[in-house]
């Protein structure tokens, strides 16, 4: 992989990840104003969780026509976020970030009462374009291209982890309008948070309690049990296993877990990265065959925090969908949204059987 760093017209960083040598000297000719990120985080005194306020994102690009897609390569008379005429994988700073290194300000509290702490929304948000093909998808990438994406995730995780104040790095992909995607070009994002996320904190607390009681990592024991049972396994490789979690919350819900405990993507070996590509493409193929239509999903990397409890982390990818039938959505209504108690309309064993049958 060849890594080339350039800058866009407003000073944002853009990084090309090429599989063969390319000259990357195209200039962004757009007349862009400087990025004006005004992110703020506030800690909810009732839950102890941080909430981000990013009102400037209201003006972000919303469902442009394909010929004006900002993630496609630039064409004569149609400049985009990528100045080059083609690319393999490219990453650039989001023009409408939820968190930004450019945010200024000091910690304070709402109305200066001391009850609700506030702080600048420091961090970074990157966009990751998986392919220059507007009509492709992650599932249609070659294993070699998936490997390039994994290497890009690893590189960005290392770089973002070194930023001042960043506590957790989160690569993810939102796919499909049902999920809320407003740009249909195949892409994902990476958030560098100025705090450890609530989900990760809860998972670490559970992992710590299990480790203290049993002397072993909880995800390691779950993985061993799933491989022994086999009832919920979707795909397997030499270094990865994909399975429906035994307490699945979503109508389609899959975990991809490496057989070796590592804290994050940069810690994966070359062999583990290659094997992930093969296993993940199998999973995505089954997902798209499930309802004979592109499955809307969220693919979320669970990495250890940057500075704390890294010995408790076990990297894994969680993929889930709100589509419970070809034309029916799973709505997060009273119990899920109001109380955080999930009710699934299918058992994990049924979900696994449907996914295995879809790939037959």
Q: Are strands 40-43 and 233-236 parallel, antiparallel or unpaired?
A: unpaired
DSSP-assigned letters across all residues of 259-296:
SS--SSGGG--HHHHHHHHHHHHHHHHHHHHHTTSPPP
Task: For 82-194, list the strands marked E by DSSP.
Answer: 89-93, 108-109, 117-120, 124-129, 168-175, 187-193
Residue 22 annotated to the active site: no
Task: For 45-162, list the strands marked E by DSSP.
Answer: 50-53, 89-93, 108-109, 117-120, 124-129
Find out whether 129 and 87 touch, Cβ atoms under 8 Å.
yes
Q: How far is Cα 123 from Cα 195, in angstroms, rounded to an integer?
A: 9
Q: How buried is residue 198: exposed, middle or buried, by Cβ count under 10 Å (0-12/13-18/19+)? A: middle
For residue 227, give the H/E element and its range.
helix 218-229
Q: Which of 180, 181, 13, 207 is nearest to 94 (CA)?
A: 13
Where b means 16+ CB within 10 Å and e means fewer, 30-41 reads: eeeeebebbbbb
- For the four alpha carbons of 350, 353, 354 and 355, in that order, the dihedral sign comes to positive
Catalytic residue among 7, 22, 56, 187: 187
Which residue numbers belong to the known binding site?
69, 72, 134, 185
Tokens coding 52: 């981000």
Which residue numbers belong to the known binding site for Zn(2+)?
69, 72, 134, 185
Q: How far is Cα 343 from Cα 332, in angstroms, rounded to an integer?
A: 9
- Residues forming the active site: 187
């Amino acid at each position: 992989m060849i890594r080339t760093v350039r800058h866009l017209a407003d000073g944002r960083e853009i990084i090309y990840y090429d599989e063969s040598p390319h000259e990357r000297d195209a200039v962004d000719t757009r007349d862009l104003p400087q990025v004006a990120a005004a992110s703020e985080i506030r800690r909810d005194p009732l839950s102890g969780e941080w909430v981000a306020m990013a009102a400037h994102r209201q003006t972000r690009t919303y469902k442009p026509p394909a010929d004006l897609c900002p993630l496609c390569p630039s064409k004569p008379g149609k400049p985009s976020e990528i100045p080059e005429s083609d690319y393999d994988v490219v990453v650039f700073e989001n023009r409408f970030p939820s968190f930004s290194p450019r945010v200024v300000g000091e910690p304070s509290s709402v109305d200066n009462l001391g009850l609700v702490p506030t702080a600048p929304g420091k961090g970074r948000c990157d966009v990751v374009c998986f392919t220059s093909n507007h009509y492709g998808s992650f599932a249609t990438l070659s294993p070699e291209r998936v490997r390039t994406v994994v290497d890009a995730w690893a590189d960005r995780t290392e770089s973002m982890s070194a930023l001042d104040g960043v506590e957790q790095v989160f690569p993810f992909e939102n796919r499909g309008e049902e999920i809320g995607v407003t740009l249909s070009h195949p892409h994902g994002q990476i958030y560098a948070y100025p705090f450890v996320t609530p989900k990760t904190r809860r998972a670490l607390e559970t992992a710590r309690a299990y480790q203290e009681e049993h002397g072993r990592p909880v995800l390691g024991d779950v993985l061993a049990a799933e491989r022994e049972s086999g009832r919920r396994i979707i795909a397997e490789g030499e270094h990865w296993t994909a399975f429906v979690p035994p307490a699945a919350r979503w109508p389609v819900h899959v975990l991809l877990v490496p057989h070796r405990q590592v804290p994050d993507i940069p810690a994966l070996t070359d062999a583990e990265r290659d094997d992930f590509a093969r296993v993940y493409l199998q999973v995505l193929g089954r997902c798209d065959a499930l309802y004979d239509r592109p499955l809307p999903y969220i693919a979320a990397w669970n990495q250890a925090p940057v500075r704390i409890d890294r010995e408790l982390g076990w990297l894994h990818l969680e993929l889930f969908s709100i589509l419970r039938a070809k034309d029916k959505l799973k709505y997060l209504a009273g119990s899920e949204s109001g109380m955080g108690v999930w009710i699934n309309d299918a058992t994990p064993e049924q979900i696994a059987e449907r996914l295995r049958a879809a790939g037959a």
